[in-house]
């Protein structure tokens, strides 16, 4: 007895698998496209409602609470930096004039004394272009006063208008820094050599703590620099 061999063909599922994979990819692509569209529209839908999808819910909650834009942040930081720089630069100068013996007050005192000497104390006629020779000699020789001159007092600081808390030195110099010398009446007047020198006052050991004020003047027809040092 013979049996006929029956061959059963194996089912081909490759077409089904390919179709299912293609459908899954299409669904994922559609989902990504919808998500991006909703994000671009701010998760709003017509009618005033909102889409509460799981993958955009967290982002929507953060955007709802945010009340600051990038422009607001930049403007705020800029104002803060400007305020800090302003305080750092100008705050010390606000209190400088009220601190005894500081460099700022010494500088103001030197400028005030230089103006007083060049504009009033060493002139017999206020407003004149040249210092009076007699006033200059009397001042630097240590006289307490001189007829017609604008200075008086027993000390140098009193004569130049400074208080007791300051020390000073005053000199008449050429533009190269050489102190003028007075040769007496009829002996050639002023020059850059000889004695006595037109310098008066004490000295300070450190030049870094000394405030200096200068005024260009004319003495006996010669251009000179009136130098006031205060510490």
Q: Is residue 87 in a domain?
A: no
Does this model's pTM top 0.85? My answer is no
**Nearest-angstrom CA–CA distance, 219 and 6:** 139
Lowest mean pLDDT among 9-23, 96-110, 126-140: 9-23
For residue 191, give every residue at least 6 positions away whose Cβ sits within 8 Å of its Cβ, in sequence order, or none: 180, 181, 183
pLDDT at 101 (0 to 100): 47
pLDDT band for position 170 (50/70/90)? Answer: very high
Residue 226 has pLDDT above 90, yes or no: yes
Looking at the chain, list the stretches that DSSP marks H as alpha helix, in order from N- to C-terminal side: 14-40, 54-65, 70-95, 103-116, 133-140, 156-159
- How big is the chain, counted in residues? 231
- Does 96 map to a domain? no
Q: Is residue 36 part of a domain?
A: yes
Q: What is the mean pLDDT of the chain?
A: 75
Task: Tell me the C-alpha to C-alpha distance, in Å, between residue 143 and each of 67, 89, 194.
Answer: 77, 44, 21
- Within a domain: residue 79? no
Paired tokens of 214: 């200068």
**Domain containing 186: what range?**
102-230
User: Do residues 112 and 212 both lie within one domain?
Assistant: yes
Query: What pLDDT, on a 0 to 100 scale, did the predictor assign at position 227?
Result: 94
């Amino acid at each position: 007895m013979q049996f006929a061999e029956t061959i059963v063909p194996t089912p081909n599922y490759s077409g089904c698998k390919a179709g299912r994979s293609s459908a899954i990819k299409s669904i994922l692509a559609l989902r990504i496209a919808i998500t991006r569209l909703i994000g671009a529209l701010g998760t709003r839908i017509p009618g005033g409602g909102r889409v509460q999808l799981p993958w955009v819910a967290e982002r929507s909650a953060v955007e709802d609470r945010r009340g600051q834009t990038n422009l607001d942040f930049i403007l705020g930081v800029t104002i803060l930096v400007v305020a800090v720089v302003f305080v750092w630069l100008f705050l010390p100068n606000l209190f400088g004039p009220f601190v005894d013996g500081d460099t700022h007050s010494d500088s103001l005192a030197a400028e005030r004394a230089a103006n007083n000497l060049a504009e009033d104390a060493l002139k017999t006629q206020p407003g004149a272009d040249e210092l009076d020779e007699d006033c200059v000699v009397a001042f630097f020789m240590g006289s307490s006063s001189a007829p017609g001159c604008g200075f008086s007092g027993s000390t140098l600081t009193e004569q130049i208008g400074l208080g007791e808390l300051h020390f000073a030195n005053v000199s008449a110099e050429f533009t190269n820094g050489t102190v003028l010398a007075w040769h007496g009446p009829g002996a050639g007047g002023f020059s850059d050599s000889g004695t006595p020198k037109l310098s008066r006052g004490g000295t300070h050991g450190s030049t870094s703590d000394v405030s200096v004020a200068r005024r260009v003047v004319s003495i006996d027809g010669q251009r000179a620099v009136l130098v006031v040092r205060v510490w």
